[in-house]
């Protein structure tokens, strides 16, 4: 029988305790519970934001890509070669480069992204279309393009056109670059002779995020190869692993078989800065909230101090009954741990209810955003981490504080 624990439990719940001591202990429990619930809710919010960013920035990419170590393009024949690799469910080429769009006015420099219809269905583009089907042919049988909402706004494209809208898509001839012409007028004499131009009907618009919407236009791969003069070439090859093969295992296999001039890249690595920033913010917030537990520890200190002052007679009685000083210290150590444990249990329950309610009902709304409600995602590793920190910090502080308080307030039991 754990006598110190039973005595500590009785001190915590006994109705004969002093009301003030009971109140201070209750306040300590509430503070610990509030911090614990806040940590779970905020970590879940960061998880939701991270998953939303992953979804938004991955709408044009698959899980794994193969690209050149140096240079801009690969031979498109690698698409069929990689599609035949065991563990690869699908492979498709992507061609990407800056182009000039024109329609009744000042030209706009943006990035042309060319891939085929099957590739579009493998990514999240279909779910981001505001108008139109994915890379369908229009009524004239011509290749069909899709523009981001930001590009559409710059070109002043009608939201629901009465007639098909056609854009002039131009790229510099091989050996030239648009890097120095971005933001400048391209209507001067002689510029047309420097460009290769194709006509691309607009069949719809897409919205992913503000950055991508203002930068990208999507077209079929063969149209992009014509305008960019890259027949039989692609910028990268996107891969989709088989259902029973993980992206990491497939990447390891490809790294062993690919030549040195080619490399693999995951979708997360492409957006590494965004993910690292989000993760750093998450753990910085976690550390700040962990320090707030120190404030809660001072509340526990006050509760234990008042309890020791109130229980001096009990300490003398327990000592006379043969309880050792170490066991007496354990009584009050258990008291601090129980306050933390009860607070942690209440905080975890409250935090889980808040996260589930936000996920199901979307109480915290985001007006004018791409999602109607603040995104949350609950991860049990975060919950376990919060509980470990609360009990670890609380238990350590309780043991240290009790040893100090017993020496000062009850020297006979020390």
User: pLDDT class for 184, splitting at 50, 70, 90?
Assistant: very low
**Residues 6+ positions from 135 with CB-CB distance below 8 Å:** 116, 117, 120, 144, 146, 218, 220
Distance (Å, whole) CA 85 – CA 77: 13
pLDDT at 248 over 60: yes
Distance (Å, whole) CA 22 – CA 368: 48
Q: What is the pLDDT of residue 226?
A: 92
**317 exposed, middle or buried (CB, 10 Å; 0-12, 13-18, 19+)?**
exposed
Distance (Å, whole) CA 226 – CA 396: 69
pTM summary value:
0.69
pLDDT tens digits for 317-335?
777 777 777 777 777 777 7
Q: Which two tokens stand for residue 1?
A: 């029988």
Alpha-carbon 412 to chain mean position: 56
pLDDT at 353 over 80: yes
Q: What is the pLDDT of residue 138?
A: 47
pLDDT at 354 over 90: yes
Q: What is the pLDDT of residue 356?
A: 92
The dihedrals phi and psi of 188, each to the nearest 5 degrees, come to: -70, 165
Q: What is the pLDDT of residue 292?
A: 78
User: pLDDT class for 139, splitting at 50, 70, 90?
Assistant: very low
pLDDT at 108 over 70: yes
pLDDT at 134 over 70: no
The answer to whether 406 and 307 are in contact (CB under 8 A) is no
Q: What is the pLDDT of residue 183?
A: 45
Q: What is the pLDDT of residue 94?
A: 93
Top-ranked range on mean pLDDT: pick from 17-26, 135-144, 304-313, 402-411: 304-313
Q: Is the dihedral of CA 150, 180, 106, 103 positive or negative?
A: negative
Q: What is the pLDDT of residue 11?
A: 65
Q: What is the pLDDT of residue 14?
A: 59
**58 exposed, middle or buried (CB, 10 Å; 0-12, 13-18, 19+)?**
middle
Distances in Å between the Cα of 191 and the Cα atoms of 96, 172, 228, 232, 396 are 22, 9, 16, 27, 73
**Residues 6+ positions from 57 with CB-CB distance below 8 Å:** 208, 209, 212, 270, 271, 274
Q: What is the pLDDT of residue 163?
A: 64
Alpha-carbon 281 to chain mean position: 11
CA dihedral 270, 272, 277, 283 (to 10 degrees): 130
User: Which residue has better confidence, 60 or 230?
Assistant: 230
Top-ranked range on mean pLDDT: pick from 107-111, 160-164, 177-181, 309-313: 107-111
Alpha-carbon 196 to chain mean position: 40
Q: Is the dihedral of CA 59, 216, 147, 169 positive or negative?
A: negative
Q: What is the pLDDT of residue 182?
A: 47
pLDDT at 16 over 70: no
Q: What angle do CA 201, 203, 204 make, to 5 degrees?
A: 135
The answer to whether 108 and 154 are in contact (CB under 8 A) is yes
Q: What is the pLDDT of residue 236?
A: 92
Top-ranked range on mean pLDDT: pick from 15-19, 178-182, 209-213: 209-213
């Amino acid at each position: 029988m754990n006598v110190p624990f039973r005595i500590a439990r009785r001190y915590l719940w006994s109705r004969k305790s002093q009301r003030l001591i009971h109140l201070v202990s209750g306040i300590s429990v509430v503070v610990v519970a509030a911090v614990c619930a806040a940590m779970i809710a905020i970590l879940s919010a960061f998880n939701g934001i991270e998953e939303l960013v992953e979804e938004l920035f991955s709408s044009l990419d698959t899980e794994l890509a193969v690209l050149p170590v140096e240079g801009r393009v690969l031979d498109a024949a690698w698409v069929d070669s990689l599609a035949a690799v065991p563990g690869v469910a699908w492979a498709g080429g992507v061609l990407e480069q800056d182009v000039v769009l024109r329609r009744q006015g000042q030209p706009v420099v943006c990035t042309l992204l060319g891939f085929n219809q099957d590739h579009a269905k493998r990514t999240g583009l279909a779910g981001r279309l505001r108008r139109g089907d994915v890379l369908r042919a229009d009524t004239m049988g011509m290749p069909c393009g899709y523009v981001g909402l930001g590009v559409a706004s710059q070109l002043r494209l009608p939201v629901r056109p009465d007639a098909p809208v056609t854009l002039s898509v131009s790229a510099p001839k091989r050996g030239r670059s648009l890097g120095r012409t971005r933001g400048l007028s391209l209507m001067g004499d002689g510029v047309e002779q420097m460009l290769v131009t194709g006509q691309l009907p607009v069949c719809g618009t897409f919205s992913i995020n503000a950055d991508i919407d203002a930068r990208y236009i999507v077209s079929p791969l063969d149209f992009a190869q014509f305008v960019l003069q890259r027949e039989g070439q692609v910028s990268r090859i996107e891969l989709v692993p088989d259902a029973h093969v993980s992206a990491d295992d497939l990447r390891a296999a490809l790294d062993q078989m690919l030549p040195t001039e080619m490399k693999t890249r995951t979708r997360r690595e492409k957006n590494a800065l965004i993910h690292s920033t989000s993760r750093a913010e998450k753990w910085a917030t976690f550390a700040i909230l962990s320090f707030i537990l120190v404030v809660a520890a001072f509340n526990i200190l006050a509760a234990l101090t008042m309890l020791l002052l109130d229980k001096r007679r009990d300490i003398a009685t327990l000592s006379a009954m043969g309880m050792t000083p170490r066991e007496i210290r354990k009584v009050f150590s258990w008291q601090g741990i129980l306050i933390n444990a009860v607070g942690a249990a209440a905080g975890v329950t409250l935090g889980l209810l808040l996260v589930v309610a936000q996920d199901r009902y979307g109480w915290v709304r985001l007006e004018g955003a791409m999602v109607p409600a603040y995104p949350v995602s609950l991860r049990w590793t975060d919950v376990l981490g919060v509980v470990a920190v609360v009990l670890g910090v609380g238990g350590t502080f309780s043991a240290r504080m009790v040893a100090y308080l017993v020496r000062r307030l009850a020297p006979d039991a020390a």
